[in-house]
Amino acid sequence: MIHPTKRFFGVALVLLSCLASGQLVLTQAAPKTSQPAGAAIASPQRRSEKVVPPPPPELPADAEHITPATIAVPPKTIVRTVDRIVVSGPEGDWVFQRNVLDHRRVSATHVDHAAQVLVTYEESDLLMALGIRGWADVLTFGSGPSELASRLLTPGVDPQALRDPHERFASYRRFDRAAWLEER
């Protein structure tokens, strides 16, 4: 199956070559209603409003004082530090990293071991694909502190799990989310 973008460019190339060789002449039909001779093109009266996404939620008060820990939520394992959270499961790993300049913001890398691919998700990608609004959502996983405390928590983390996935899986192919959606 030909990808729609490739098909579009193929058709466009054929049309352009026909136009250049004079084999194709494009004409525009006359409007059904006559316009006054001095009529000018005008902008539409109604404009759509620019929608600005809301800022990420504020961080919990104790977000800067998280004890590095490993949390078991079978079949997944979560490694959590102040600035990085790694969720490992059967479908691959998610490595969430807090933004260094604005601690409310987050980016992520999805490690798909089966396909040997790293897919980078920026803030807007996380919001659209997973509904993650910022670091606070990743930090609590939509749970309150009491619910997180009830899970099996082991102090300490495996430093290997916290390594940058681009270094850890250097042989994997790399994509940003938009390129990955086109690839699949």
Does residue 7 form part of some domain? Answer: no
Query: Residue 144: what pLDDT?
Result: 54
In a domain, 72, yes or no: yes
Residue 26 in tokens: 């494009």
Distance, in Å, from the CA atom of 37 to the CA atom of 174, rounded to the nearest integer, reads 57
Does 121 map to a domain? Answer: yes
pLDDT digits (tens, 9 = 90+) for 42-82: 666 666 676 777 888 888 888 888 888 888 888 888 898 99
pLDDT of residue 156: 83
Does the pLDDT value for residue 172 go beyond 90? yes
In a domain, 171, yes or no: yes
**Mean pLDDT value of segment 114-134:** 92
| The pLDDT of residue 85 | 92
Can you tell me the distance from the alpha carbon of 165 to that of 172, in angstroms, rounded to the nearest whole number? 9
Closest CA to 78 of 99, 96, 56, 105: 96
Identify whether 141 is part of a domain.
yes
Domain extent, residue 125, equals 66-183
Has residue 25 been placed in a domain? no
Q: What pLDDT does residue 111 have? A: 96
pTM of the predicted protein model: 0.67
- Asked, for residue 4, whether it belongs to a domain, the answer is no
Greater pLDDT, 150 or 41: 41
Residue 70 lies in a domain: yes
**Of 50-54, 116-120, 144-148, minimum mean pLDDT range:** 144-148
Note the Cα 114 to chain centre separation in Å.
20
Domain count, the chain: 1
State the Cα–Cα distance between residues 69 and 74, nearest whole angstrom: 16
